[in-house]
């Protein structure tokens, strides 16, 4: 497939929930592009449309209008075969609450997407070992989710998300259920996945600390983008964090609104 300059294009995306007399507008015309290799953050108050946006991109819900293109292809024009491939191996989704299957071990959870897609056992094994090493979960692969810490569960979920080499990782508050230390470890891993492996990531987060690992942040309020911050080359993360806090403070009376 020809490589498109923009990996993902979101064009005037609108989403209304509900019917005629009871409509909740969640997205009111959101447009942005993601270039290959970016680590894009989305921040905004509760109810501003962040999850709705990710779910439209993941084809979990249908937008009311607007388009999403991956490598120049309109995802709403996909037939069922394209859609299965898109969901199964072109995007990876990381959830706040991990969404691991309780009755499967870590290893089984990670390999599940590959078993669905018919990858050979030897290939799967090699990929699993490499990813587990990187994410520091080798020792817990045979444990069940109930025997893992939150941070370990999320790193297992990250391995499951990455094993099929998705074009883009979508993450919705991936540190939301983690303590500060586990959150930092996860973010450092995601940063490594982005920087040293060139994986494109789109992450929603309330947490300015988590968001400070991103290369660019879009701020969304009432279903529209109202600000953008770009981390400068060589800018210290602490400095970028301060700039994020300043934007949040401008959001109607302080960051308490957003955090
Ligand atoms: N299934 C649904 N049916 C009706 N309204 C919905 C539905 N899902 C979300 N909404 C509404 O759409 C708006 C945007 O919700 P969304 O979940 O996208 O916000 P969010 O930015 O992810 O919030 P949070 O930070 O709390 O996760 C809110 O007003 C919400 O109440
Ligand atoms: Mg949400």
Distance 135 CA to ligand 1 centre (A): 31
Distance 173 CA to ligand 2 centre (A): 7
Distance 200 CA to ligand 1 centre (A): 25
Q: Retrieve residue 162's tokens.
A: 């990455």
Q: Retrieve residue 204's tokens.
A: 């929603």
pTM above threshold 0.85:
yes
Q: Give per-residue pLDDT as tens, 153-187.
A: 999 999 999 999 999 999 999 999 999 999 999 99
Mutate to test the pocket of ligand 1, among 19, 51, 54, 177 (most ligand atoms within 8 A of CB): 51
3-state SS assignment for residue 197 = coil
> Cα separation of 215 and 211, whole Å?
9
Backbone phi and psi for residue 174, each to the nearest 5 degrees, phi listed first: -65, -20
> Cα separation of 150 and 8, whole Å?
30
CA-proximal residue: ligand 1, atom 26 (nearest): 46
Residue 253: pLDDT over 50: no
Q: Retrieve residue 206's tokens.
A: 């309330």
Q: Give per-residue pLDDT as tens, 110-146.
A: 998 877 666 777 888 899 999 999 999 999 999 999 9
% of the chain surpassing 70 pLDDT: 94
Q: Give per-residue pLDDT as tens, 51-104.
A: 999 999 999 999 999 999 999 999 999 999 999 999 988 999 999 999 999 999
Residue 39: pLDDT over 60: yes
Distance 87 CA to ligand 1 centre (A): 22
pLDDT bin (cut points 50, 70, 90) of residue 193 is: very high
What is the CB neighbour count within 10 angstroms for residue 74?
A: 12
Closest CA to 37 of 149, 195, 150: 195
List, chain by chain if needed, residues with CB within 6 Å of any ligand 1 atom.
17-18, 24, 26, 44, 46-52
Position 3 scores a pLDDT of 59
């Amino acid at each position: 497939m020809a490589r498109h300059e923009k990996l993902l294009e979101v064009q005037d995306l609108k989403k209304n929930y509900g019917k005629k007399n009871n409509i909740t507008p969640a997205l009111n015309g959101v447009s942005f592009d993601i270039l290959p290799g970016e680590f894009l953050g989305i921040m905004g108050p509760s109810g501003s449309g962040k999850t709705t946006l990710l779910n439209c991109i993941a084809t979990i819900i249908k937008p009311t209008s607007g388009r999403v293109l991956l490598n120049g292809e309109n995802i709403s024009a996909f037939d069922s075969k394209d859609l299965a491939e898109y969901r199964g191996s072109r995007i990876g989704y990381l959830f706040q609450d991990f969404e691991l299957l309780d009755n499967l071990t870590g290893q089984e959870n990670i390999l599940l997407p590959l078993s669905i897609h018919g990858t050979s056992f030897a290939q799967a094994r090699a990929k699993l070992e490499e990813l587990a090493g990187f994410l520091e979960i080798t020792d817990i692969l045979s444990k069940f989710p109930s025997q893992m810490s939150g941070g370990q569960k999320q790193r297992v979920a990250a391995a499951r998300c990455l094993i099929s080499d998705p074009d883009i990782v979508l993450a919705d508050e991936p540190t939301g259920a983690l303590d500060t230390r586990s959150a930092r470890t996860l973010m450092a891993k995601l940063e490594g996945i982005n920087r040293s492996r060139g994986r494109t990531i789109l992450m929603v987060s309330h947490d300015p600390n988590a968001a400070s690992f991103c290369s660019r942040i879009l701020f969304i309020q009432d279903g529209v983008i109202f600000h953008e911050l770009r981390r400068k080359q060589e800018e210290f993360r602490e400095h970028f964090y301060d700039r994020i806090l300043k934007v949040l403070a401008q959001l109607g009376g302080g960051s308490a609104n957003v955090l």
